[in-house]
A and B are shown apart, each in its own frame.
Chain A
Amino acid sequence: DADVTQTPRNRITKTGKRIMLECSQTKGHDRMYWYRQDPGLGLRLIYYSFDVKDINKGEISDGYSVSRQAQAKFSLSLESAIPNQTALYFCATSDRGLYGYTFGSGTRLTVV
């Protein structure tokens, strides 16, 4: 099994719909992140969590919300999806005191 698992891998949804992307990890890491990747723009941080009771906005949090249900689970929600949220979404984890991130395989989201 992958260390960081994202579900679904692909999703097509309609404008205005609520959608949740899920991330679970078996690394035992405290820190979890959600990134968005668009062509030419690299990885942009949406939200991050340093432990179960900690939630922080990243650089592009508008239109998104998150929930840290447990140390191993961090979900990203789009309350009312819009077409410009079409992108590749990545979840990542890291351990406190160590700086390298482990990424999931990504969720390709298309909003039509």
Chain B
Amino acid sequence: GESVGLHLPTLSVQEGDNSIINCAYSNSASDYFIWYKQESGKGPQFIIDIRSNMDKRQGQRVTVLLNKTVKHLSLQIAATQPGDSAVYFCAENGSGANSKLTFGKGITLSVRP
């Protein structure tokens, strides 16, 4: 069946380094992708999105890359800070007006001081 998954369950990075979180998706019809951040005790919060007609989108300290050829999505965080420590989810939205988001299982980012 279709699925969205993350390659690694945890990622530990040094403060100040760049972080890269990867996500594989299998629904080739998906036309919209989102990264969410979930801090402890809170609900997931939108970070950045990208549509399938793009391969890169930048925000403040974050960049999302989409490779439709290999169905791969990544989130890059520049100059990782302690406040970036959280669980990160990728999500995909299939095409169609009534499609819904499918979420990956999440990866924990831990920032070492």
Contacts and interface: CB of A to CB of B under 8 A. Distances in A.
Interface stretch (B12-20, B60-68, B74-82, B95-103): B95-103
B107 to A, nearest CB: 10
Nearest to A31: B100
Given A40-B105, A99-B32, A45 B42 contact: no
Nearest to A4: B43
What size tier do the contact residues of chain A reach?
A: 20 to 34
A23 to B, nearest CB: 11
B44 A100 contact: no
B105 A101 contact: no
Contacts of B43: 4, 90, 92, 103-106
B105 A50 contact: no
Nearest to A100: B46
Contacts of A100: 34, 46, 49
Nearest to A104: B43
A101 B106 contact: no
Contacts of B45: 103
Contact of B105 (A41, A97, A102): A41
> Closest 5 interchain pairs by CB?
A103-B43, A42-B105, A43-B103, A99-B93, A99-B32
Interface of B: 9, 32, 34, 36, 41-46, 49, 89, 91, 93, 97-98, 100-101, 103-106
Interface of A: 4, 33, 40-43, 45, 48, 50, 90, 92, 96-97, 99-106
